[in-house]
Amino acid sequence: MSQQQFMQNPWSNWMKGEGPDSDIVISTRLRIARNLRQHPFPLLATDSQAEEVVRKVTEVSETEAMKKLGPLELIQMEQVNPLEKRVLVEKHLISPHLAEESRKGAVLLSNDESISIMVNEEDHIRIQVLMPGFQLQQAWDMGTKIDDIFEKHVNYAFDENRGFLTSCPTNVGTGIRASVMLHLPALVMTQQINRILQAINQVGLVVRGIYGEGSEALGNLFQLSNQVTLGMSESDILSNLYGVARQIIEQERVARRYLVEHSRITLEDRILRSYGILQYARTVESKEAAQRLSDVRLGIDLGIVKNISHLVLNELLVTTQPGFLQHHAGQKLSPDQRDERRARLIREKLSARQ
């Protein structure tokens, strides 16, 4: 797939699949941070040293073992304009840090965009695997397979006592971050979410917004991930995250049943009002769009809104973002222009599913 195709496709192919518990879990992500021994970390590297890292990573991506996993396309950040970088961030294919602050940064992408290998972000290599629904073990299996291939061809920065060495101390140890993107509207509506978030922080996990650290939880989407990478094995980290995520999934389902049984008219009114506004609004700003799309998605999962797949809502969560709207318009848009274009896009997508 060409660089332009990665930009034009409104959503990643992996998002089109139906994963386990996909009524609540939007996606699973596994990220592995690694650095190369005898190479300065990206924050201290010269341009030539950073270019050498890109060359080494590219060589590994072209080995037979990697080719068996499918072709990877190299995209150099220097060759991508700011708007295109924003699109890649909105599709969760690169981090905001790689888009804004990396020097000689690059990313290797698989055709279905389920594999994303960032180069010269905070660390030399950040292997990312994305899967639909709740698939922690499957994501880990793929991530560790890629990690093993790299380890056969490069020397990782590793300490016998501390584990894998990373730029940020919070990643030292296993170097892995596993996360699940959860849609939790019922827990928000029943005002249980704050209590749950406080409890999560006490078990070595953290909740972030839709684009990770420092981002906002738009549309009732919360990213649950491990906070500790040192002093725990990979299996312990995954087991802890899996167990807590499973509890939250069940609590969200209980909250949904409660709303249906005790506040059905109020719930239907909220969902159908949002559906009606999205069907007919001529302008809608991004936060309102995220919230109303969340309402409609809940309505789909509860059978209140029919004849629309929640996969359409997944697509709209990406295509209604500012970067995507402007990229497809072929020009920079004012906030008012983006709001008008966003509303039109949502109307078109919803009417096409009638």
Annotate 225-270 with DSSP letters as a single string: EE---SSS-HHHHHHHHHHHHHHHHHHHHHHHHHHHHHSHHHHHHH
- Which of 101, 143, 145, 148 has the alpha carbon at shortest distance from 126? 143
What is Dmax (Cα atoms) for the chain?
Answer: 64
- Which of 181, 195, 201 has the alpha carbon at shortest distance from 136? 181
Report how far residue 70's alpha carbon sits from residue 54's, in angstroms, rounded to the nearest whole number: 19
Angle at 222 between CA 328 and CA 345, to 5 degrees: 25
**Does the annotation place 233 within a ligand binding site?**
no
**Does the annotation place 95 within a ligand binding site?**
no
**Does the annotation place 208 within a ligand binding site?**
yes
**Does the annotation place 84 within a ligand binding site?**
no
**Does the annotation place 178 within a ligand binding site?**
yes
**Does the annotation place 174 within a ligand binding site?**
no
Which amino acid appears at position 12 of this protein? S
Report how far residue 74's alpha carbon sits from residue 59's, in angstroms, rounded to the nearest whole number: 11
**Does the annotation place 302 within a ligand binding site?**
no
Whose structure tokens read 């660390």? Answer: 123
**Does the annotation place 126 within a ligand binding site?**
yes
**Does the annotation place 1 within a ligand binding site?**
no
Tallying the residues shown for the chain, one arrives at: 354
**Does the annotation place 110 within a ligand binding site?**
no
**Does the annotation place 200 within a ligand binding site?**
no
Burial class (CB in 10 A: 0-12, 13-18, 19+), 220: buried
**Does the annotation place 30 within a ligand binding site?**
yes
- Which of 37, 57, 188 has the alpha carbon at shortest distance from 125? 57
**Does the annotation place 28 within a ligand binding site?**
yes
Report how far residue 24's alpha carbon sits from residue 195's, in angstroms, rounded to the nearest whole number: 19
**Does the annotation place 181 within a ligand binding site?**
yes
**Does the annotation place 282 within a ligand binding site?**
no
**Does the annotation place 92 within a ligand binding site?**
yes
Query: Is there a contact between 255 and 188 (Cβ–Cβ < 8 Å)?
Result: no
**Does the annotation place 209 within a ligand binding site?**
yes
Tell me the three state secondary structure of residue 348: helix
Tell me the three state secondary structure of residue 127: strand
**Does the annotation place 109 within a ligand binding site?**
no
Q: Point out the annotated binding site for ATP.
A: 27-31, 92, 126, 177-181, 208-213
Q: Point out the annotated binding site.
A: 27-31, 92, 126, 177-181, 208-213
